[in-house]
Chains A and B, each alone.
Chain A
Amino acid sequence: MKPKNQRLVLVAVAVAALIVAALLAMWGLRSQASFFFTPADLAAGKAHDGEAIRLGGMVERGSVRHLPDGVTIRFVVTDGKSATPVSYRGIVPDLFREGSGAVAEGRLQNGTFVADTILAKHDERYMPPELGNLSAEHKAGKTLEK
């Protein structure tokens, strides 16, 4: 190969790699990105069954029930407007409490949100950014207990 051609070929190959990366990323994002929803979004039918999503809101007071196997729990997540029942099998984070914020990752199945992971506040100072607005409402006295 002549030097000039070599540089051209290398540039062409690099550009091709860039395009491949962009296409791959687009394909992956289209099929795999999971969107953040509130119970109100779910009530409005914005998410489809089986689609990987995140659900965020407050754990409704008095809603947490333990199933007989001891490791599955059911509870209700609410944003003050709507509520979504959630089921989770596993050890919940220690800061998971009724009346405080939580984000669940999983998918909808027949109206119930089946969570693979529960994220709660990690400490008193930390709050998932998605929950920032909710907690402001919460503090302003618009509590979610009825």
Chain B
Amino acid sequence: MIAETGLAALWLAAGLAALQFVLMIAALRTETEVSRAMRSIAVLQGVLTLIAFAMLIIVFARSDMSVALVFENSNSAKPFIYKVAGAWGNHEGSMLMWVTILAVAGAFLGLLAHRTGERTLLAALGAQAVLALGFYAFLLFASNPFARMWPAPPDGQGLNPLLQDPGLAFHPPTLYLGYVGLSVAFSLAVGALLTGEVDSRLARAMRPWVLAAWILLTLGITAGSYWAYYELGWGGYWFWDPVENASLMPWLAATALLHSINVLAARGALKAWTMMLAVIAFSMSMVGTFLVRSGILTSVHAFAIDPQRGTFLLALLAIYVGAAFVLFAWRGAVLKEGAPFELVSRESGLVINNLILSVILGVVFVGTLYPLFVEAVSGEKLSVGAPYFNAVAGPLALLLAALVGIGPLLAWRRERRPVLKKLPIPALLGATALAITIILWPQMNMLPRVGFMIAAYLAAASLLPLIGRNPLRAPFATWGMVVAHFGIAVALLGMAANAAFTVERLAIAQPGDILSVGPWQVQLQSVVPTAGQNFTAVEAELRATRGGDIITLSPQTRYFSDPPTATNESAIRTFWNGQLYTVVGKQDVSGAWQLRLWWKPFVTLIWAGGALIALGGALALVGRRFRFSFFRRREKADWRRERYA
């Protein structure tokens, strides 16, 4: 009954989405008063998808093997938390989660949006319904999560052990919330293009959605990067895997949108461009979903190998993106001209930010899709990996990081003061960092060297917007910007340190042998068998010493039987100045064990930087939504002063 309830809820939600779309057309053609009805329908639709999703979680939690999806992806011996998380650790379940978030976002849009014009809101709700409708059809006709099996098998086939990790419980939901949060920006842009109300009011309505989605994407990417780092046991934090790129592309577009939306909100300029970015950002989310869910890629994540689904998703993608671009071409040209600005101004700075981000997005997009394109056209197989992305996107990202220090210092509309005069201290810090790397490490590669220089400069330059005023009086949004930009410098420092100073040791060891890696002496003490709830493992006991520090680490190789798989569980210890990372491999004929050890100075700064960037976003979001009483009056005064400066 539970699975049937879920399916029924899904059909009802699809019906409501269709109704919502019809009402939108009626609302735009005649001036009928349907807005309240449409808002209620959007809310109801969100509630129904939540019910469907809850039903799926229940059948997974109860290990109901008569549901095909549970049989294929779960096992009664799994720990409870992974049974629940297993509900979205598979193709159908994750698509249900996607559409649930889409519908719930639509519900909140109906409940909360009061800032746009009523007609624009109705059009946006209609657009959101059309988006949801396509994905309902995909679920109901090509990926039914509630399909039954008869007779019910005794037990399930299990879950890919790589996915049996606390990261799984939170990583996909976070990313999906980010992906789908951008759908609201898309729908609002479509709505505004239909009604022609592209103005600063629209930008202010769109901004919290974009900010929230962007924060979640940032967190999702950061967490995913750390997950890959410790779970795969390869010691890397970013592999330019197509699935990683699938999350990076919406983030790049959302980052650009986040900046251009401020221009639209504050100055009423960059109208067409911002609408274009809103369309592109969610299109990239859909491209990402297509790449991951169609099973088209050679990747750990591609577990749906089914051409029919791929075609369905591709058709949805083509229809939505195509329609949005046609709408843009039709309505974009009639938008009123935005407010003018001079060549040296905050607006120009943000345009440059947008251009660089767009170019990076373009090269990542081409690099990710080119292999698929070539194979479809000529049948030739090729892969585009880290060498391409590092060579092409790396220098652009460094250039952007360098400019991040200058942009926030510019005034809106026209900057007459010599801005570069504010930068002697950051420039001096950058030059010092460069000099130190040249003197102490003459062999260092170019990219980390430049990374150190820009990180040192940006760490100081990003703080400048708080200098020369009382920092406590600065608006939350300014604090958010400063924290996020400072986070870029922190992450960059971590990446440069990891690239320049990582020490690796790969060797075999008998129990008792000592290997040295960086400042550490690592002794293999013993290798013992052990077991968990649904796996057996061998565990190496390592004793690492550095000066007076003595620590023990226990990396494992785990063997799972449902399905038969083995994974390397790295053991990592974090210190203020780096991480010691250990992996145990296989036993050779002499009885010695393969050990892979890394000493990675300051590598944790990479994720700390990511967290700071997200925190900056959160400050900006909170500061705009709720104005805390303590800051209120001063903040408003500051805001006024800035506005009329």
Across the interface, A25 reaches (CB within 8 A) one of B302, B366, B383, B585, namely B366
**Which residues of A from 88 to 124 have beta carbons under 8 Å from B?**
89-92, 94-95, 103, 105, 119, 122-124
Per-position contact with A for B222-243: 1 when CB-CB < 8 Å, else 0? 0000000000010000000000
Cα–Cα, bound, A33→B564 (Å): 34
Per-position contact with B for A57-85: 1 when CB-CB < 8 Å, else 0? 00000000010011100000000000000
Secondary structure at chain B's binding surface: helix, strand, loop or mixed? mixed
Interface centre among B359, B371, B384 (most CB of A within 10 A): B359
Contact (Cβ within 8 A) B388 A24: no
Contact (Cβ within 8 A) B385 A105: yes
Contact (Cβ within 8 A) B300 A122: yes
Comparing B5-13, B144-152, B589-597, B636-644, the segment that makes contact with chain A is: B589-597
Task: Judge whether A34 is part of the interface by a CB distance below 8 angstroms.
Answer: yes
Chain B residues lying within 8 Å of A103, measured Cβ to Cβ, are 298
The chain A residue sitting closest to B592, CB to CB, is A70
Contact (Cβ within 8 A) B508 A69: yes
Q: A24-B359, A91-B583, A91-B596 are in contact. Are A32 and B340 (CB under 8 A)?
A: no
Task: Judge whether B380 is part of the interface by a CB distance below 8 angstroms.
Answer: yes
Q: What's the nearest-Cβ distance from chain B to residue A29, in Å?
A: 6
Chain A residues lying within 8 Å of B565, measured Cβ to Cβ, are 94-95, 122-124
Task: Judge whether B362 is part of the interface by a CB distance below 8 angstroms.
Answer: yes
**Which residues of B from 340 to 360 have beta carbons under 8 Å from A?**
340-343, 351, 355, 358-359
Chain B residues lying within 8 Å of A119, measured Cβ to Cβ, are 298
Interface centre among B298, B342, B385, B589 (most CB of A within 10 A): B298
Chain A residues lying within 8 Å of B557, measured Cβ to Cβ, are 94
Chain A residues lying within 8 Å of B233, measured Cβ to Cβ, are 91
Interface size on A, residues (CB 8 A): 48
Contact (Cβ within 8 A) A1 B340: yes
Task: Judge whether B382 is part of the interface by a CB distance below 8 angstroms.
Answer: yes
Cα–Cα, bound, A52→B61 (Å): 47
Q: What's the nearest-Cβ distance from chain A to residue B269, in Å?
A: 8
Contact (Cβ within 8 A) B589 A66: yes
Chain A residues lying within 8 Å of B380, measured Cβ to Cβ, are 35-36
Cα–Cα, bound, A40→B429 (Å): 55
Across the interface, B585 reaches (CB within 8 A) one of A1, A6, A29, A91, namely A91
Binding site for B on A (CB under 8 A): 1-4, 6-7, 10, 13-14, 17-18, 20-22, 24-25, 27-29, 31-36, 52, 54, 66, 69-71, 89-92, 94-95, 103, 105, 119, 122-126, 128-130
| Extra pairs beyond A25-B366, A34-B383, A130-B298 (6, CB < 8 Å) | A21-B362, A28-B367, A33-B371, A71-B585, A124-B565, A128-B298
